[in-house]
Amino acid sequence: MPYRIVLAPGDGIGPEVTAAAQRVIAATGIEIEWSERQIGAGAFETLGSPLPAETLEAIRAADATLKGPTATASGGGYRSVNVELRQKLQLYANYRPARSMPGIVSRYDNVDLIVVRENTEGLYSGLEHTVVPGVVESLRVITQVASERIARFAFDTARRQGRGRVTCVHKANILKLSDGLFLDTCRQVSEEFKDIAFDDCIVDAAAMKLVLDPKNFDVLVMENLFGDILSDLASGLVGGLGVTPSANIGAHGSVFEAVHGTAPDIAGKGLANPTAIILSGVLMLRYLGEKQAADRIEEAVRGVIGAAETVTGDLGGSAGTDEYTDAVIAAMTNN
């Protein structure tokens, strides 16, 4: 039977890059039944909601979802689509690998680390209110259940990939109760994984060490806000959000997405770089158990970018979206 995949193109360049990813995935020969659903600012303007009920239900029922970038509607009017999606479907684990890419010049070579971010609580719980005019209070929620769940995901990931160490990133020296609970829970879970080393690092020190030498780390696990910040920092070490994928895994679904912006200035011009969503598709295929197909795509992407002959403008080339996608498909055929 074909896999049932929701395609949520999103806004701006989203339709162009997700279409490119569809073409690349189709070239593997894997049978997929795609179901396109609206999400983001466009959905808000046409359907009155950035996350329509039918989109949410389709994602819940699908084997996986491939999602493009989303924008905030003009004038705002709603909370982050990504936050709402993760909370409503309990997509508790954000998985963000950062791996050096041939052909992309960066400060460091051979970076290969993973940021695991708790996706459903922390300051992103959205619990805030005005105490008195001029004073706003935001609640940072940390629970043992969510902390244990994300710690276990990090250790399971490390074991499955043959990695040697998990680092808990925290601020328990200041936030003694909330981050103290997170750190203590990670330590407890680490006792079940004696084959994997465990240590911890205060978040500001972790940021400094990542910039000084990312080889200090292997798998990092942390709460929501710290994960939001450090996952982007890690992406910056290997070329930026345009070349790094993202996965959101939970009890009631999975969403694989490009986390870069919607780039409205080039939307519809055929200039967008689809690498991030293609590599997110790679993560999706691995999640579905299609490792061989995933490896073919990733090898092709790395080969095309490494050759630097048919790459988009942001990567130093002059190729358009379709031309770059054609090159990736041709490289898959030749592999």
β-pairing, 112-118 vs 93-99, is antiparallel
Q: Is 124 a catalytic residue?
A: yes
* Residue of 109, 204, 213, 265 marked catalytic: 204
Told to judge if 200 belongs to the known catalytic residues of this protein, a careful annotator would answer no
Residue from 3, 95, 124, 324 carrying the catalytic annotation: 124
- Distance between CA atoms of 281 and 264, rounded to whole angstroms? 23
The active-site residue, picked from 92, 171, 179, 324, is 171
For residue 144, the one-letter residue type is Q
Q: Which of 11, 179, 200, 228 is catalytic?
A: 228
Question: Does residue 171 have an active-site annotation?
Answer: yes
204 annotated active-site: yes
Q: How far apart are CA 211 and CA 233, in angstroms?
A: 8
Active site residues: 124, 171, 204, 228
